């Protein structure tokens, strides 16, 4: 299935260029010669993809509305500029959560199981530990 954001970009360029010519769209899921030929034999009207354009446009508008209003709200509440957005905020929340987990970590709270490996080197008599040797 075509990508909604890609469709929106195409439509923006098409409309900004002032193009009035009818459009037909090629959709292929393989780069095989036979699939490409079949795709060109079955071009679809551009109107078949209006829903994709509309979905991407709606998403872009919602992202902007949520971002601009949430940014203003939180900036006023906390008396400093706080940028809020649909993608940025959850991503930042994941980073903050992970940082809190790292800060709360206490050495020795996780048991580890060591396996002792002896690598082989081309030099006779060389013995190297991958991990420190076990204490006696």
Residue 46 DSSP symbol: G
Q: What is the per-residue pLDDT across 110-133, written as a single tens digit (0 to 9) for each?
A: 655 555 555 545 555 545 444 455
Q: How far apart, in whole angstroms, are the C-alpha atoms of residue 121 and residue 53? A: 60
In the predicted model, residues of the chain with pLDDT beneath 50 are 120, 126, 128-131
pTM over 0.85: no
Q: How far apart, in whole angstroms, are the C-alpha atoms of residue 43 and residue 109? A: 62
The pLDDT value recorded for residue 128 is 47
| Closest alpha carbon to 63 in 36, 90, 30, 81 | 90
């Amino acid at each position: 299935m075509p990508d909604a954001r890609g469709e929106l970009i195409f439509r923006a360029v098409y409309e900004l260029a002032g193009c009035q010519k009818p459009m037909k769209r090629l959709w292929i899921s393989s780069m095989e010669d036979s699939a490409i030929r079949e795709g060109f034999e079955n071009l679809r009207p551009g109107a078949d993809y209006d829903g994709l354009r509309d979905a991407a446009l709606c998403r872009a508008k919602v992202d902007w509305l949520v971002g601009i209003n949430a940014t203003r709200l939180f900036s006023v509440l906390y008396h400093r500029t706080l940028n809020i957005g649909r993608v940025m905020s959850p991503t930042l929340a994941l980073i903050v959560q992970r940082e809190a987990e790292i800060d709360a970590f206490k050495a020795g709270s996780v048991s580890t199981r060591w396996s002792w490996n002896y690598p082989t080197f081309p030099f006779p008599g060389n013995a190297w530990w991958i991990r420190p040797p076990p204490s006696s």
